[in-house]
Chain A
Amino acid sequence: MPLFGDAGTIMLTAGLVASACAILGVMLVLRGLSLMGDAVSHSILPGIIAVFLIAQTRAPIWVILGAALFAVICVIAIEWLVATRLVRSDAAIGLVFPALFALGVLGVHQFTADLHIDLDSTIYGEIAFVPFRVMEIAGVDVARGLVVAAIVAVVDIAAVALLWKELKMTSFDPGFARASGFAPAWVSRMMLVLVSITAVVAFESVGAILVIALLIIPAATARLLTTRLLAMVLIAVSVGWAAAIAGYGAAVAADASIAGMMGLMALGAFFVALGVTAFRRWTTESARFREAQGRSK
């Protein structure tokens, strides 16, 4: 049994992935690129096929490299289309990722029909299996997925902390950022590359659905509750951890998919936040109404 036990490993891994995703997710939501996670998850297909054809291997490191290459191609192409200012970001996403996915589907059809490549087990990992793949660090067995998630989380937190001021400026006012001598295009590009690589690495260890859900739902929840960037990041990370822990409990109780349950728990948090904001709006509005009535008397 790995360090932290099976249940602990799963919850910790999901929580760390949730932290990395929530931080990047906030930046995506503020830039109107919320569907990037879904886009990356589809666009990596040709990368996996290409690695399979060229290197004849299914070793995780090669598959991750091939997938990451196409993930980066995907985000750079989307960024370029948006930068022409002729296509809005949602349409740019919708033009790029299905095309890459289509290339992948054609590749599967042409080359791998007889190789029987099982895509689900090649790149899209399953969080329930994380405790079974262990590695030894300093004489202690630790789940490989947990180590990967920890590295990803640390790298993402460090990168966002380093670029905090730049990200803040380019998220809220790219024009002002450009005028003050920052290069918003490069900050965005680096952030998107970080998103694509994080997503690919996380897909391999915990599966695509969990990553897509944790990238967007906690960040959107935080966006409902606050307008301050730091508070947004902290709330998003907390929602992510809560979804990871509650989702595991629910999945065990209902004997259903862990990743799916974590996504549903995050969705639950989103609706709670929606209720809270609606209630807040209602109370301020009725207070204003009473005040106005009092004045008219």
Chain B
Amino acid sequence: MNVIYELLPVSGTTALVALVALALGITAGAVGSFAVLQARSLVGDALAHAALPGIAVAFILSGARDPATLMIGAVVAAAVAAALILFLERTPRLRADAVIAVVLAGAFSAGVVLLTWISASGRGDQGGLESYLFGQAAGAVEADLITASVVMVSALLIVGVLARPLGAVIFDRAFSSSIGMPVRGLEAISVALLVLAVVVGLRMVGAILMVVMLIAPAVGARQLVKRLPPMIVLAALFGGAIAVTGALLSSALAVPTGPVIALVGTATAVLLVLIAPSRGVAWRARRRHVNHSRLRGSELLMALDGTSQTGPMSEEQLAREVGRNLRWVRRGVRSLRRSGLADPDRGAVALTEKGRARAAQDRREVAAWSAWIEHGWRLDLPDAREPDPLNMRRSLGEANLRQLAELGQEGRDRAPVR
């Protein structure tokens, strides 16, 4: 063991905490992926609260407060709560979140009643039993590293072997059950993995912060990939990275480990929600902005081109022409001038040659779209996809466009003359 520590650029205690965190983070990331996809990500929260009555019962039965006994109580209570959640989820009218919340509130009430009953019946001091829920990472010993590694290896083995069937159950439960897969058993296994991760995490980072360790890596990974197997791998990597970063950061700043890991986890997940390529909030906002300004430009171009006989227009006239407010028009004109579609001279707005060409092209696009709406069903297309109204040429192809134009012309020729 010592050899490993000497290879690391940090002190022995920090290295130990970081390694335990690494094992825990990888486990939580892999196991949490299933929980997040099944809308069960707060099961961890409920299990953690359910540990309280288990700890109280273990204390009542044994009269001792050594960690091992209390741990057994916590594991048993968490398993009972998990079984109860699985059972109640079969109730047709209750969604998973309601079931989890009922079990959480009920178990915690039971825990509180047991704790007050212990102190009222003079069975000794119950103070401090609750603090078991909050965890102590700094107090990690080598036994914790062994426990965490064993849990990590077994969790990864189970996930690796069962990833495909578990994925099938998550994405199409009814189908999986109809082809004879043991759906209930697989669900029980995925929740059992969750119990395992929560109970180990409880001691390390505490109940509440364990919730983030299960959720954040999976949410982050989901933003980057679509398929389940890469998502599990990525979530495990994120989980490890988040936990180690948090552990090193907390030892550098000399603050508790659990909260720092939780904050790093939430920050990572939120950052990925913001910037994930082609899906994140920032990307969507940019795409919306680009489309918006293109549509605005096209509207102005066609208005300017349509009235070419009367010469250049002032911005006020243009606003009246398109029926928009002046600020909207000014912003559009500015971007037309910047891209060389309108004459850069201040004052009246006039199109350049390039602008006229673009206006004609946009007009064709609009005509193509109207023709598509009216006659699209007569085209012989290989698939049933809607074309992109902002780029008809690319989505339909030249030949189809020409056919649409002919159909449109035919329709206009036949239209009754009023």
Residue numbers of A with Cβ under 8 A of B are: 29, 32-35, 37-38, 42, 81, 84, 86-91, 93-99, 101-103, 105-106, 109-110, 209, 212-213, 215-217, 219-220, 223-224, 227, 254-257, 259-264, 266-267, 270, 274, 277
The one of A33, A98, A255 in contact with B262, judged by C-beta atoms closer than 8 angstroms, is: A98
For A219, list chain B residues within 8 Å (CB).
98
Binds A, one of B158-166, B209-217, B325-333: B209-217
Bound-state Cα–Cα, A277 to B273, Å:
41
Bound-state Cα–Cα, A90 to B100, Å:
10
Asked, given contacts A89-B97, A263-B106, A263-B108, whether A106 binds B259 with beta carbons under 8 Å apart, the answer is: yes
Bound-state Cα–Cα, A267 to B120, Å:
23
Check A42 against B208 for contact (C-beta < 8 Å): yes
Q: Which residue of A lies closest to B274 (CB)?
A: A84
For B218, list chain A residues within 8 Å (CB).
91
For B95, list chain A residues within 8 Å (CB).
29, 32, 34
Check A106 against B260 for contact (C-beta < 8 Å): yes
Check A256 against B116 for contact (C-beta < 8 Å): yes
Asked, given contacts A220-B94, A223-B94, A260-B113, whether A102 binds B263 with beta carbons under 8 Å apart, the answer is: yes
Tell me whether B219 is interfacial, beta carbon within 8 Å: yes
Which residues 104-127 of B sit at the A interface, judged by CB distance below 8 A? 104-106, 108-113, 115-117, 120
For B41, list chain A residues within 8 Å (CB).
88, 90-91, 94
For A209, list chain B residues within 8 Å (CB).
105, 108-109, 112
B103 to chain A, nearest CB (A): 9
Which residues 66-95 of B sit at the A interface, judged by CB distance below 8 A? 88, 91, 93-95
Check A98 against B113 for contact (C-beta < 8 Å): no
A131 to chain B, nearest CB (A): 18
Q: Which residue of B lies closest to A271 (CB)?
A: B106
Check B91 against A224 for contact (C-beta < 8 Å): yes
Tell me whether B350 is interfacial, beta carbon within 8 Å: no
Bound-state Cα–Cα, A81 to B218, Å:
15
Q: Which residue of B lies closest to A100 (CB)?
A: B266
For A254, list chain B residues within 8 Å (CB).
113, 117
Check B208 against A101 for contact (C-beta < 8 Å): yes
Tell me whether B312 is interfacial, beta carbon within 8 Å: no
Known: A99-B263, A102-B262, A220-B98. 14 other contacts (CB 8 A): A33-B97, A88-B36, A88-B39, A91-B219, A95-B266, A95-B269, A110-B255, A212-B108, A224-B94, A257-B112, A257-B115, A260-B116, A262-B109, A277-B91
Which residues 13-40 of B sit at the A interface, judged by CB distance below 8 A? 36, 39-40
Asked, given contacts A35-B42, A263-B105, whether A105 binds B116 with beta carbons under 8 Å apart, the answer is: no
Check B223 against A257 for contact (C-beta < 8 Å): no
Check B97 against A90 for contact (C-beta < 8 Å): yes
A181 to chain B, nearest CB (A): 22
A236 to chain B, nearest CB (A): 12
Q: List 21 A-B contacts (CB under 8 A).
A: A29-B98, A32-B98, A38-B45, A38-B49, A38-B105, A84-B273, A90-B96, A90-B97, A90-B100, A99-B263, A99-B266, A101-B208, A212-B104, A213-B106, A219-B98, A255-B120, A263-B106, A264-B106, A267-B105, A270-B102, A274-B91
Check A223 against B93 for contact (C-beta < 8 Å): yes
Chain A CB within 10 Å, residue with most, of B100, B101, B106, B116:
B101
Check B223 against A86 for contact (C-beta < 8 Å): yes
Bound-state Cα–Cα, A91 to B97, Å:
11
For A105, list chain B residues within 8 Å (CB).
256, 258-259
Check A212 against B105 for contact (C-beta < 8 Å): yes
Check B266 against A96 for contact (C-beta < 8 Å): yes
Tell me whether B279 is interfacial, beta carbon within 8 Å: yes
Check A95 against B216 for contact (C-beta < 8 Å): yes
Tell me whether B229 is interfacial, beta carbon within 8 Å: no
Asked, given contacts A94-B41, A95-B219, A213-B109, whether A34 binds B209 with beta carbons under 8 Å apart, the answer is: no
For B116, list chain A residues within 8 Å (CB).
255-257, 260
Asked, given contacts A87-B219, A99-B262, A99-B266, whether A260 binds B97 with beta carbons under 8 Å apart, the answer is: no
For A34, list chain B residues within 8 Å (CB).
95, 97-98, 100-102
Bound-state Cα–Cα, A224 to B99, Å:
11
Q: Which residue of B lies closest to A101 (CB)?
A: B208
Which residues 238-288 of B sit at the A interface, judged by CB distance below 8 A? 255-256, 258-260, 262-263, 265-267, 269-270, 273, 276, 279-281
Check A101 against B209 for contact (C-beta < 8 Å): yes
Nearest 8 Cβ contacts at the A-B interface? A263-B109, A102-B259, A260-B112, A34-B101, A260-B113, A99-B266, A267-B106, A102-B262
Bound-state Cα–Cα, A242 to B49, Å:
25
Q: Which residue of B lies closest to A264 (CB)?
A: B109
For B281, list chain A residues within 8 Å (CB).
84, 86
For A266, list chain B residues within 8 Å (CB).
105-106, 109
Check A86 against B279 for contact (C-beta < 8 Å): yes
Check A267 against B42 for contact (C-beta < 8 Å): no
A263 to chain B, nearest CB (A): 3
Check A256 against B117 for contact (C-beta < 8 Å): yes
For A224, list chain B residues within 8 Å (CB).
91, 93-94
A245 to chain B, nearest CB (A): 16
Q: Which residue of B lies closest to A106 (CB)?
A: B259
Bound-state Cα–Cα, A219 to B101, Å:
11
Bound-state Cα–Cα, A219 to B102, Å:
10
Q: Which residue of A lies closest to B269 (CB)?
A: A95
Check A106 against B256 for contact (C-beta < 8 Å): yes
The one of A95, A103, A220 in contact with B215, judged by C-beta atoms closer than 8 angstroms, is: A95
Bound-state Cα–Cα, A93 to B266, Å:
11
